[in-house]
């Protein structure tokens, strides 16, 4: 199996060939060889390789992180944290909110028990997964709030009360408006800066 090298086009969706490597082994190999800034995720048995985010994406993540900090200084705001979901998926959300110190160990992949909110900001390469597969994975993990900032649709979707493969409540708001975040966050998010 030929793997891309830094500077080459890196594929977005990869299925391992049948040369004896398991999906997990192939995932570990791709993770080790991914160019700096690229994220490799294992979602519902498929390896997904995501290029670095653009500036607009990072501005949204930064603004969201800042508003969480302003609301509750006891919450940690984590980017680049790997979460191991109960279905075997391994994801790196754009932002994870959990009590400070929740990820002070040296592990690469973490359980989701401490997570209060996970946020994803869509991009052309991730929008479909963020809207479908990640909702299922985060609900299965029992993550209380999934915040989807859908740039392509111009809206914010707040998913809460996970049950099975989905969330009981999904509230959609236009970007640029004030978005109420339910417990355990319980504050209004101003998306005017998004």
Average pLDDT over residues 14-36: 80
Q: What is the pTM of this model?
A: 0.87
pLDDT in tens, 72-109: 999 999 999 999 999 999 999 999 999 999 999 999 99
> Does the pLDDT at position 9 exceed 80?
no
Q: With b meaning 16 or more CB within 10 Å and e meaning fewer, what string describes 45-83?
A: ebbbbbbebeeebeebbebbbebbeeeeeebbbbeebbb
State the Cα–Cα distance between residues 63 and 56, nearest whole angstrom: 11
| 55-193: CATH topology | tt1808, chain A (3.90.1570)
- Where do the structural domains in the chain lie, given as residue ranges? 13-50, 55-193
- 30-70 pLDDT, tens digit each: 999 999 889 999 999 999 999 999 999 999 999 999 999 99
Q: Which of 29, 26, 8, 9 is nearest to 17 (CA)?
A: 26
Residue at token pair 């992180």: 65
């Amino acid at each position: 199996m030929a793997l891309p090298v830094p500077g080459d086009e890196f594929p977005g969706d990869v299925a391992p060939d049948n040369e004896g490597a398991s999906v997990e082994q192939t995932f570990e190999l791709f993770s080790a060889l991914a160019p700096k800034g690229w994220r490799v995720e294992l979602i519902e048995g498929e390896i997904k390789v995501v290029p670095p985010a653009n500036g607009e994406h990072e501005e949204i993540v930064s603004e969201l992180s800042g508003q969480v900090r302003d609301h509750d200084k006891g919450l940690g705001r984590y980017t680049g944290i790997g979460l191991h979901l109960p279905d075997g998926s391994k994801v790196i959300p754009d932002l994870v909110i959990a009590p400070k110190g929740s990820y002070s160990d040296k592990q690469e992949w973490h359980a989701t028990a401490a997570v209060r909110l996970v946020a994803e900001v869509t991009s052309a390469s991730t929008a479909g997964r963020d809207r479908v597969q990640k909702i299922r994975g985060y609900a299965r993990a029992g993550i209380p709030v999934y915040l989807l900032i859908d740039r392509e649709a111009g809206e914010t979707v707040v998913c809460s009360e996970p049950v099975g493969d989905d969330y009981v409540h999904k509230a959609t708001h236009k970007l640029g408006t004030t978005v109420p975040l339910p417990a355990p966050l319980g504050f209004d998010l101003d998306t005017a800066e998004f």
